[in-house]
Structure 1
Amino acid sequence: MHSSVREIPLSSEPDSSYFLRVDESGRGLAYGFQLLLSDGRHAWSGEASEAWVRQEAAELEMSTEKYVQDLREALTGEAGVHSYRFALAPAAPDGALTLTYDKVQKDISFRLGSTRLGPVTEPERIVGALLTRSLERATSLERHNRELREHNLRLRREHVRFGAELERYASGKEALEAELYARFLHVLNEKKAKMRGLRQTLEQLREAGSGEKRERAAEEAEGEAMAPPPPPPLPAVASSGGARSPGPCDDSLMDIADVAPSRKRRFRHRPGPLDAAVERAHASKSDSPAAASQQQPAASEEVEDLFEDL
């Protein structure tokens, strides 16, 4: 069971001080709670059930979660953005009181709830329990504050350590970036130098290739100039029945002198007796085949003489 103690001001008695103790049920404030109110001399106690909590939320047309949140802020004094007011009113002649708590929002207040509190027969015991609970709460809060201070000191030391490490990492990062940039420039310059060398080599190869092409073209032009002119094309042979154009063979034949007429004129006279005797003398002296071969032109001459006679 969670319990809390707080001092509440009463609107009807601004100079008085009342202490309110709230004991929640095991499952939370939404499932019911108990109230104990004391002014140091008297004490009153009351109880609210789960059904009462849900009924109050329904009457205010609020969700149960929202109503329980506002109720917790009002009764336990947890930090909130709204303010609350408390009032006590006599409920019965037996000394019972009614504790009402209102929510103030934008200068408008509406009743959040009310609980009937009956008088306690032994207020001294209740006051002692309130004091004990207050001391326990104070001790718990002090211990919690000490833990928070230690945690803050630890966080501060870690913050300082992290700041120093961050500065060291930042300086190392800057040094690493400078080194990487220097390496990048070195590699880039090497690549540029290599590209320039390759470009110069390519230009030299292109110039050498163009020079070889020019020399080859000049040699080809010189060879064409020194080469003899091609022979004229042979004339086409005329078809049968047509005139044949003269060719180089005809020109060469035309250059040869025709000796046939003179030979014919030579053998046009008839041989005399003297010539016949000379021929017989030559034939008797020579029995070689050359003599026989010399007789063949004579026979051919006689044939030509016969054709001449014709």
Structure 2
Amino acid sequence: MFTGSGPSRTNMFQNISGPAPCNRVGLARKKRVFVVVWGERHSDTLILHQCEEKWRLLKHKMEETKKHTCLKLLIPVNSTEGEPIFVKGTWFPTRFDLAITDGFNAWFCNASEEEVNQRASQWDQPVSEYVELAERYLGFQQPGSVYDFADAGDGHKRLSWTFEKEGMTLQWRWKCKQSPNCKKTTAEILDFLMDANITLSEEVIRKNELYENMKVEAEKCLAQSERVANEKAEFEAQIYTKFLGVLNSKKSKLRDLRDQLSKQDTAKRSPQVEEDTDKTESFDEESFDNSDEDPQQDVTASSKDVSKNKPSRRKRTRLT
């Protein structure tokens, strides 16, 4: 027996079998709230992952579209050739970065999208055209352009260049700040030049190998074409010789046949001529022999013959 103030049999069985019916409703509500909250968090996580994926794709695309250039620029000082500077440019579709060094000091210029857009709007140009024109003049030194790299105070420099447009001489200027670590900036430019040199050397070696391979293949093809041409000429000569032999044999056979036909025609004509001559000679001999006889005897003989050969006429009696 259960005594005291402990749980009754009913409460004990309720605790064993599960919560009370009134508590099940609360658990179901909490479960629904948990599912909703988990679903919202899960959707937020999916959206975050999608955004990260898009950003990675965009970054990868920008990395693929960016280009690098390095220009060795000679700026004259007091009508004399000055010391060269190296201008390394990293070009994006809507902005660009510059790193400049003279071997001792270094400067940088990071043109943001807003600055490039503002400059392009001032010149009434699209952003892409502005960036392309800047890359053309800072990627390769243009002979008709006047470059300058002047002091701008506080150790900064101002890089400028001129270009012609619609008969007018225009000038672009960008302020370059002094690098906080000149050695690092200079080392980065030198590393880029070394990597570019190695890449170009490997490209030249690869091109030379391809050229040599193509040269060998061209020589093989030339030799093969000559061999084929010689074989063709020999084959044509042989075929022509055989054709001449066959043609000559056909001609000889045709001549033989023509001779045989002519002989047959002559053979057919010669007996007929002999018969005609024989008949003529016999007639002449008979006429010549008969001419020696007496013409009167011939006349009497002929008359007798006629009388003998003449049929006798019998009298016909008419019956009444």
TM-score, normalization: structure 1? 0.53
Aligned pair partner of 2:173 in 115, 131, 136: 115
- 1-structure distance, mates of 2:277, 2:134: 115
Structure 2 residue aligned with 1:99: 159
- 2-structure distance, mates of 1:221, 1:68: 121
Cα drift, residue 32 of structure 1: 3.4
Q: Per the alignment, do residues 147 and 37 of structure 1 end up closer, same or farther by CA in structure 2, a change over 3 Å counting?
A: closer
Report the 3-state secondary structure (helix = DSSP H, G, I; strand = E; otherwise coil) of the residue aligned with 1:15. Answer: coil
Cα drift, residue 56 of structure 1: 4.5
Q: Per the alignment, do residues 113 and 205 of structure 1 end up closer, same or farther by CA in structure 2, a change over 3 Å counting?
A: farther
The number of aligned residues is: 218
Report the 3-state secondary structure (helix = DSSP H, G, I; strand = E; otherwise coil) of the residue aligned with 2:109. Answer: strand
Structure 1 residue aligned with 2:227: 171
The answer to whether 1:3 aligns with 2:68 is: yes
Which is higher, the Rg of structure 1 or of structure 2? 1
Alignment check: 8 A CA contact 1:36 1:45 kept? yes
Report the 3-state secondary structure (helix = DSSP H, G, I; strand = E; otherwise coil) of the residue aligned with 1:18. Answer: strand
Q: Per the alignment, do residues 112 and 2 of structure 1 end up closer, same or farther by CA in structure 2, a change over 3 Å counting?
A: farther
User: What is the CA deviation profile of residues 86-123 of structure 1, one whole-angstrom value per residue up to 9, with x for unaligned ones?
Assistant: 113456x666544221359xxxx964641321424xx2
Aligned pair partner of 1:45 in 102, 109, 113: 109
- 2-structure distance, mates of 1:52, 1:199: 100
- 1-structure distance, mates of 2:272, 2:265: 10
The answer to whether 1:203 aligns with 2:259 is: yes
Within 5 A, what are the aligned runs for 1:50-65?
Answer: 52-53=119-120, 56=123
Alignment check: 8 A CA contact 2:67 2:90 kept? yes
Alignment check: 8 A CA contact 1:86 1:99 kept? yes
Within 5 A, what are the aligned runs for 1:150-165?
Answer: 150-164=206-220
Aligned pair partner of 1:189 in 235, 245, 252: 245
Residue identity (%) = 12
User: What is the CA deviation profile of residues 256-278 of structure 1, one whole-angstrom value per residue up to 9, with x for unaligned ones?
Assistant: 9xxxxxxxxxxxxxxxxxxxxxx
Aligned pair partner of 1:137 in 190, 193, 214: 193
Aligned pair partner of 2:147 in 76, 86, 102: 86
The answer to whether 1:77 aligns with 2:137 is: no
Cα drift, residue 151 of structure 1: 3.6
- 1-structure distance, mates of 2:263, 2:134: 98
The answer to whether 1:33 aligns with 2:96 is: yes
**Amino acid of the structure 2 residue aligned with 1:22:** G
Cα drift, residue 85 of structure 1: 3.2
Unaligned runs of 5+ in 1: 229-247, 257-310
Structure 1 residue aligned with 2:91: 24
**Amino acid of the structure 2 residue aligned with 1:99:** L
- 2-structure distance, mates of 1:50, 1:206: 107
Within 5 A, what are the aligned runs for 1:274-289?
Answer: none
Structure with more helix by fraction? 2
- 2-structure distance, mates of 1:69, 1:218: 115
- 1-structure distance, mates of 2:190, 2:227: 54
- 2-structure distance, mates of 1:199, 1:72: 89
Alignment check: 8 A CA contact 1:100 1:115 kept? yes
Cα drift, residue 135 of structure 1: 1.4
